[in-house]
A and B are shown apart, each in its own frame.
Chain A
């Protein structure tokens, strides 16, 4: 698996939101895109998953340009996203939400069970809530559900859009721990978009810093943690996660 974005440009009407960025995600990596509001992080992810149209440039997945492939087919290729704001179906139960994650996979019942077991092992909390409506879960539980649902499709690459958004500090630490677990134990490649740069950089292998639709820095995550510019702009003094 190799995901490569080449000189990507994306427009909202006449406004250019992504101004030619290039990002590479290799098999087994956690790569993070960090940056302020409006830097283009979410747009980049939405373009990879197919919700946004490409103006120019290419999205190469295992060497093939998928920028014209409709969103619902990219799931089958192995790209799953846990969207910004979690995007769980509030009127469906936890189980139904998870089953939606496998919508196109006509696997046998045993595989569905296998997948559910895998998700429930990862998120025991979801197992307790299996018959509960998604809309009644806490923010952290909803985030677990969004990630679990994306994993149901057995993705090669998992796109996570601000998983820490709106969560309590305890829960943030918990979610990031799980992200590492998914990467190491399931072997899933992860592209993580985060405003919580501190946590993201601690978990990721490599990182890109986005500013107003452009990549301004690209380095090993551990290097960026010590980079004075990044520290000043995104980590602040004290660098407490919030």
Chain B
């Protein structure tokens, strides 16, 4: 099967800088128009039957893409299986919920703090857990996800099973209001964050951390023999992944205004992981596409109600059989490419 990602990269390589910048700007422009796609004739088939299309674009689509990008740093780049990623999402969301309702902080004030808290908990989890590998690490992260949810469920400060209500929306910025009437503003906000994360990941990937993660993923022992401080780099990927999850959580809480522990169950972690694997583990464009499809599809086919999850499962099974490396797999280096032959 052809690898669209490699084809795309090949075309990209032939472009000069102005051409690339133009392409990126045009792409961002069209992505920014997405909230209006359901109103425009030719793309109106995108409209979702129950929740409005614009809201679906923010949550789940935008949020899932954001979280999948964050999880991809951990799972895709450095090859660490994290089954408790929802924990960082929850920590971000609860930071926003508590700091805004009890202390009156605005979303913009909470955002950096929520990110730092998520990063700190990522380090707290990573320090003991990252000494273990593979299955053992996966089990510990799974446990961590559950611990966070159960603490939220049983603490007074987090509102117990009822969660926290009355979380304020973010204050307006440059006249852009963030309220129920303006989901497209939320979308642009999430889009901005996605672009920021993509930019950040691309910076990392071409520099030393990217190389270190790549080496660790391919062979951790040999990476250490090359002088890579494996624990530190693994911790970094964990902490950066946590930061993205935390940021998504802060935004999510201020969008939905009510959160409760049952929004942060294990199945969210699994779904985000599915987005990463389905789209193409390790490749940000694949991950974005995968998360976009997996987040959007259940809402698009909501009219068939009960059969919805069955169809969703079938799509996953069929696609993973047809494209086991995901929709847009990471660069395949195991094959001899035309370039290296000469």
Does B227 contact A90, Cβ atoms closer than 8 Å?
no
Q: Does A49 contact B (CB under 8 A)?
A: yes
Q: Does B211 contact A (CB under 8 A)?
A: yes
Partner of B335, one of A73, A87, A89, A133: A133
Which residues of chain A are near B228, meaning CB under 8 Å? 72, 100, 103
Min CB distance A130 to B, Å, is 8
Given A92-B215, A133-B335, 15 extra CB contacts under 8 A: A73-B227, A83-B221, A87-B219, A89-B215, A91-B214, A91-B334, A93-B340, A103-B211, A103-B227, A132-B336, A133-B336, A135-B333, A136-B334, A136-B335, A136-B336
Q: Does B222 contact A (CB under 8 A)?
A: yes
Q: Does B218 contact A (CB under 8 A)?
A: yes
Which residues of chain A are near B51, meaning CB under 8 Å? none
Interface size class of A (residues with CB under 8 A): 20 to 34
Q: Does A51 contact B (CB under 8 A)?
A: yes
Q: What is the bound-complex CA distance between A49 and B224, given in angstroms?
A: 9
Contact digits for A65-105, partner B, Cβ 8 Å, 1 yes 0 no: 00000111101100011010001111111001001110110
Which residues of chain B are near A51, meaning CB under 8 Å? 221, 224-225
Q: Does A219 contact B (CB under 8 A)?
A: no
Which residues of chain B are near A186, meaning CB under 8 Å? none
- Give the contacts of B207-259 with A (CB-CB under 8 A): 208, 211-212, 214-215, 218-219, 221-230
Which residues of chain A are near B336, meaning CB under 8 Å? 132-133, 136
Which residues of chain A are near B7, meaning CB under 8 Å? none
Does B218 contact A89, Cβ atoms closer than 8 Å?
yes
10 closest A-B pairs by beta carbon, nearest first, are: A75-B227, A104-B227, A133-B333, A131-B340, A87-B222, A132-B340, A71-B224, A89-B218, A91-B333, A135-B334
Sample (16) of A-B pairs whose CB atoms are under 8 Å apart: A72-B229, A75-B226, A87-B225, A89-B215, A89-B222, A90-B333, A93-B333, A96-B211, A100-B211, A103-B211, A103-B227, A104-B227, A132-B336, A132-B340, A136-B335, A150-B225
Which residues of chain B are near A213, meaning CB under 8 Å? none
Q: What is the bound-complex CA distance between A80 and B222, given in angstroms?
A: 11
Q: Does B17 contact A (CB under 8 A)?
A: no
Q: What is the bound-complex CA distance between A15 and B228, given in angstroms?
A: 29
Which residues of chain B are near A204, meaning CB under 8 Å? none
Which residues of chain A are near B340, meaning CB under 8 Å? 93, 129, 131-133
Min CB distance A136 to B, Å, is 5
Does B222 contact A83, Cβ atoms closer than 8 Å?
yes
The secondary structure that dominates the B interface is helix
Partner of B227, one of A89, A93, A96, A153: A153
Q: Does B156 contact A (CB under 8 A)?
A: no
Q: Does B339 contact A (CB under 8 A)?
A: yes
Q: In this complex, which of A99, A103, A135 has the most chain B Cβ atoms within 10 angstroms of its Cβ?
A: A103
Q: What is the bound-complex CA distance between A106 and B115, given in angstroms?
A: 32
Residue numbers of A with Cβ under 8 A of B are: 49-51, 70-73, 75-76, 80-81, 83, 87-93, 96, 99-101, 103-104, 129, 131-133, 135-136, 149-150, 153
Min CB distance B341 to A, Å, is 8
Which residues of chain B are near A149, meaning CB under 8 Å? 226
- Give the contacts of B178-219 with A (CB-CB under 8 A): 208, 211-212, 214-215, 218-219
Does B333 contact A103, Cβ atoms closer than 8 Å?
no
Q: What is the bound-complex CA distance between A131 and B221, given in angstroms?
A: 24
Q: In this complex, which of A81, A101, A133, A135 has the most chain B Cβ atoms within 10 angstroms of its Cβ?
A: A133
Min CB distance A128 to B, Å, is 10
Q: What is the bound-complex CA distance between A99 and B214, given in angstroms?
A: 13
Q: What is the bound-complex CA distance between A195 and B294, given in angstroms?
A: 53
Partner of B225, one of A83, A91, A92, A133: A83
Which residues of chain B are near A103, meaning CB under 8 Å? 208, 211-212, 215, 226-228
Which residues of chain A are near B224, meaning CB under 8 Å? 50-51, 70-72
Does A92 contact B229, Cβ atoms closer than 8 Å?
no
Min CB distance B224 to A, Å, is 4
Does B218 contact A101, Cβ atoms closer than 8 Å?
no
Min CB distance B6 to A, Å, is 13
Which residues of chain B are near A72, meaning CB under 8 Å? 224, 226-230
Min CB distance A132 to B, Å, is 4
Q: What is the bound-complex CA distance between A75 and B211, given in angstroms?
A: 17
- Give the contacts of B60-83 with A (CB-CB under 8 A): none
Min CB distance B228 to A, Å, is 6
Min CB distance A227 to B, Å, is 33
Q: What is the bound-complex CA distance between A49 and B222, given in angstroms?
A: 10
Does A100 contact B333, Cβ atoms closer than 8 Å?
no
Does B218 contact A90, Cβ atoms closer than 8 Å?
yes
Q: What is the bound-complex CA distance between A135 and B333, given in angstroms?
A: 8
Closest B residue, CB atoms, query A146: B222
- Give the contacts of B298-342 with A (CB-CB under 8 A): 333-337, 339-340
